[in-house]
Every structure is written in structure tokens, then in C-alpha cells.
Amino acid sequence: MVNGKWLMARALRLAIYHLTFAIYHGPFFVALLIAGADDVLEAPMATTPMEEFLARLRGTRVWKSVFRRGPARSNRTRSLAVFGNIFLHAVPAKVREKSLRVRATYYLGSITFFLFVVLLITGIMLMFYYHPAIPQAYRDMKDLRFAVANGVFLRNLHRLGAQAMVAAVFAHMFHVFYRGGYRPPREFNWVVGVVLLLVTLFLSYTGYLLPWDQLAFWAITVGTNIISAMPVLGPKIRFLALGGNLVGENALLRFYVLHCVVLPLAAVVLIAVHFWRVQKDGGLTVGEDDVIPAKAGNQPPLDSRLRGNDKGEHGRKEI
């Protein structure tokens, strides 16, 4: 039996799946589009209608005003296409082939970022129904579970995605640690990563209270009592976090604001720094042969090559 409702739900799930896929892969497709993938593939003649359309689109004044450069026929113009775009700025203009292999990273950082984007989307969707108030919060959660169309799907995606993200963050950090990715020149990015781990854990913890069920209430009661075990500052921090002495209305609202505004903003900014530093620190760690000895060849460090040599201060150091 195939009924209409089932088909609708199925279609929506597929749509959400494709949407998240598009957001994850979008920048790379856009990069290819702007860089002129057809030129790269040595097909200068627009043959298919799609290629013809793209060729005409690139010729328009609007396109030129937005991207300010013609077809990317050389490495330089292709690089400029990436540098000149704020969204592509996080994507390296050049990568070593080795760093694209699955075994180089197992895509653990990318998976973490993908899950973060999924959590942003599903989180914003959940916010359309959720009131951070007592007893409305619990009712809204029940409403999402049992009454709202596809509510249970979004809620579970958010919950499971959050758990998966914590797991992915740990996997990513173990991988970086055992690869030695924390060593100079990447030591600062490791620190940024550790702060991102803390932000992730705080996001998990603050989100845990929001369903306002027994599990949430006691988890936050126990957790904030652990904070107050800290000498001198502990009880003050607990009072500030809860906005009172008990886990109540104030605590729910505070955790909601932290979970939906403060921590995601911090995460977005830190992720931007993290991605940017990956490039500035000489790309991904790919293994033992990753290290370029200072004496071998006269190649300046990647960083200085991109920005002009400034006394090699930011260049790759010998490990």
C-alpha cells in the first residue's frame, strides 16, 4: 500500500537529503563553475545547451560585475577565482593530490563540518515550533514528536546528528593527534580545534536541557552541581549559568540563548579561523613525507609563496 502521505514524507526526506548534500558539496561545484570547468576539461566550444547557457551567463554584465574575471584558463586566474570570492576563501586554491586521498584524512573534519551544517539547518527548523518556557517547552517537544509533519524526523536528525558530531570531533582529533598534526606550524590550529571541541560539548550540554523532560532536568541539576564543586568561583558560575539557585525558567531561557545564539556564533567564527589556518599552515597533514626539509630545493614555504615572502616568519618550519 502506497498512500499519499507516505509518499509526501518520503519526498520531503529526499529533498532534505539533497539539500544538505548540496550545501556540503555546493562550494566545490560553485568553484568549478566559476573557474570554468569546461575550459579546464579542454572543451572550449559550447556544445551542449547547458554549456552554451553557462558560456552566455559568464558573458553577461551581471556575472562580470559579481565575479570580475573572465574564463579561468590558467592556474593564476583559477586561483584568483577562489581568492576573490569570500565563500570560496576557505577552500584552498591548490591542494596536494595526497591530501585528497581518503586515507589522508578519512574526511573526518569534513564530516564534522557537514554534521554541523545539518545541525544548523535542523536546529533552525526546530526553533520555528519551540518556546523556551515552562511547561510549553515539553509540550512543544511532544508536539514535534507526535503532531508536526516530519517533526519527529527533524528532531531525531538534530539529536542523532549532535551525537554523531561529538563522535566525529573526537575521531577527527584522535586522527590529527596520531598524525602529529598538532606540531608546528599547526600548533595554533590545534588549540583552535580544542576550543571548538569545548564549544561542541557545551552545545551538546545546553541542548540537553531544552526538551525539559526528567532526563534533561536531572542531567542539568547534576551537571551544574559539578560546576559548583569548583572552589571559590564554582557556586557563582552555577548561579550565573542557571540564573538562580534551581533549574527553572531562567535556566531554560539561558541555556536556550546559549544553545541557539551564543555558542553557534562562536562555533561559526572559530570554524572559519580553523579552515583558514589549515591553508595558512601549509595544508593538511598527509603523513611522514609531509615534511618538506628546509634545505631540499629552493621552494619557499607555501604560505609565503601565496602572500609574498615576508621574512619567512609564517613559513613552514622544520619539525
Partner 1 sequence: MASESENEKQSGAREVTRRDFLNEISIAALGVAGLGAAVVTYNYLSPNVLFEPSMVFRAGNPDLYPMNSVTYLQDQLVYVVRTASGFYAVSAVCTHLGCITQWKPEANMIACPCHGSKFKSDGTKIEGPAPKPLPHFAITLTTDGELQVDKLQTVKADQVLKV
d(CA 293, CA 227): 47
Q: Based on the shown chain and the rule CB under 8 A, indicate whether residue 240 belongs to the binding site for partner 1.
A: yes
- What is the 3-class SS of 255-300, one letter each residue? HHHHHHHHHHHHHHHHHHHHHHHHHHCCCCCCCHHHCCCCCCCCCC
d(CA 176, CA 190): 9
* CB-nearer residue toward partner 1: 238 or 274: 238
* CB-nearer residue toward partner 1: 204 or 228: 228
Q: How far is the CB of 214 from partner 1 (least distance, A)?
A: 11
* CB-nearer residue toward partner 1: 43 or 240: 240
**Of 60, 110, 245, 309, the one binding partner 1 by CB under 8 A:** 245
Q: How far is the CB of 230 from partner 1 (least distance, A)?
A: 13
Q: How far is the CB of 198 from partner 1 (least distance, A)?
A: 20
- Report the Cα 312 to chain-centroid distance in Å: 30
Q: Based on the shown chain and the rule CB under 8 A, indicate whether residue 75 belongs to the binding site for partner 1.
A: no
* CB-nearer residue toward partner 1: 72 or 251: 251
* CB-nearer residue toward partner 1: 150 or 250: 250
**Of 250, 276, 291, 292, the one binding partner 1 by CB under 8 A:** 250
Contact 206, 199 (CB under 8 A): no
**Of 25, 70, 218, 233, the one binding partner 1 by CB under 8 A:** 218
Tell me the C-alpha to C-alpha distance, in Å, between residue 119 and each of 15, 112, 183, 186, 196: 16, 10, 31, 28, 15
Q: Based on the shown chain and the rule CB under 8 A, indicate whether residue 244 belongs to the binding site for partner 1.
A: yes
Angle (nearest 5°) at CA 194 between 190 and 198 = 165
**Of 90, 150, 249, 270, the one binding partner 1 by CB under 8 A:** 249
**Of 222, 265, 268, 319, the one binding partner 1 by CB under 8 A:** 222
**Of 7, 15, 246, 268, the one binding partner 1 by CB under 8 A:** 246
d(CA 19, CA 183): 37
- Report the Cα 253 to chain-centroid distance in Å: 26
Q: Burial letters for 155-170: b for 16+ Cβ neighbours within 10 Å, e otherwise?
A: bebbbebbebbbebbe
Q: How far is the CB of 260 from partner 1 (least distance, A)?
A: 17
* Positions in the binding site for partner 1 (CB under 8 A): 218, 221-222, 224-226, 239-240, 243-246, 248-250
